[in-house]
Amino acid sequence: MEDGMPSAGYGPGSFFRMWPVRGGQKDYWDPDYPANVWKTGQTVSFYPGDDGDLQMGVTWPSRRFQDNGDGTVTDNLTGLVWLKDSHCFEDTITFQIDNWADGLDAIADFNANPGDFDCAEYDVENHQGGWRLPNKKALLSLMDWSRSYPPLPEGHPFLNVEYRTYWSSTTYSSDPQDPHAWVAYPTAGGGGLSHMLKDHHQPTVWPVRGEIHGNAVRDADFDGDGDVDGRDIAILGAAFGSHWSDSNFDPRTDMIVDGAIDQADLQAFTPHIGRTDCPCQ
């Protein structure tokens, strides 16, 4: 609570205070609240009541990341779309990133002139633009707090993930005399945030974009057994016949996350079972 920076881990003999909490999400998304906290990724318990024991928060999709086959990766938890190559801006000769403003300018240049950047597997011919420098929450959303070196979810498809620091778009302070910006270490150590002077030359950038209704849908494995099959069709069918106020409403089946379960969700679901027609008709 000093400056909002998550600190490194401390040993069990360290002295800290506690701030109790209760309520919140457990496994499933709650449509009554606009912000739903997801699980940290820690599943090992070291003492009753710790995070690994309770595992509070929304469950991650069984397929956390989707490789879109065009040099981009969709995070099915947040709906954010990331460049698959986390290193290409650092390797680009035509645009040297020497400070925070350079990072913002580099992404603007990438949107306008994608062919000047050598990003592995990126489909320049079908370039959509809309890329931006992620804010600090977006960078933190990538981290799996059960892992380190790198602290990214197991099986992630990103390329060239090594020890490096990334600029966020978030300024550390509104004080013009304190020209720092937040930086993230999503690929080093246990993950975390810090802040650096905006004229520092070390951090690079990892662009993101997000069109949650256009590029990302919820995972179709509703029962979490690793397969999309008849059981998932039954879950979707039951939800499709309910209403928002109905106690049978299942937020897992709101595939496009628009607050309703309707034909659009059926259309988003059917490709997962190799069909184009509605399985509930």
List pLDDT tens digits, range 38-95.
Answer: 999 999 999 999 999 999 998 888 778 988 899 999 888 888 999 999 888 875 656 6
Instruction: Please check whether residue 176 lies inside any domain of the structure.
Output: yes
Q: Which residue, 194, 210, 226, sits at the end of a domain?
A: 210
Which tokens sit at 105?
A: 């300018």
Q: Is residue 84 part of a domain?
A: yes
Are residues 194 and 86 located together in one domain of the fold?
Answer: yes
Question: Does 204 map to a domain?
Answer: yes
- pLDDT above 70 covers a percentage of the chain that reads 83
50 occurs within a structural domain: no
**Which residues pair with residue 154 across a beta bridge?**
none
Cβ-defined contacts of 230-239 (< 8 Å, 24+): 232/269, 232/272, 233/273, 233/279, 233/280, 236/265, 236/266, 236/269, 236/279, 236/280, 237/279, 237/280
Nearest alpha carbon to residue 95 among 105, 85, 86: 105
Do 164 and 223 belong to one domain? no
Give me the pLDDT at residue 216, please.
Answer: 45
How far from 14 is each of 9, 156, 208, 252, CA to CA, in Å?
Answer: 10, 34, 37, 40
More confident residue, 24 or 1: 24
Which stretches of the chain are assigned E, i.e. beta strand?
Answer: 26-27, 57-58, 65-67, 72-75, 80-83, 166-171, 180-184, 193-197, 208-210
Give the C-alpha separation, 68 to 124, whole Å.
14
| Dihedral angle over CA of 187, 189, 190, 196, nearest 10 | -70
Share of the chain above pLDDT 90, in %: 30
Name the pLDDT band for 215 (thresholds 50, 70, 90).
very low
Q: Which two tokens stand for residue 8?
A: 């490194």
Cβ atoms of 152 and 143 within 8 Å: the answer is yes
**Considering 191, 210, 229, which residue would you say is the last residue of a domain?**
210
Is residue 181 over pLDDT 70? yes
Which of 210, 240, 272 is the endpoint of a domain? 210
Its domain, for residue 197, covers 65-210
150 preceded by a cis bond (ω within 30 of 0): yes
Same domain, yes or no, for 187 and 270? no
pLDDT of res. 51: 94
Query: Contact 16/10 with Cβ under 8 angstroms?
Result: yes
Based on the domain organization, do 225 and 199 belong to the same domain?
no
Whether 47 maps to a domain, the answer reads no
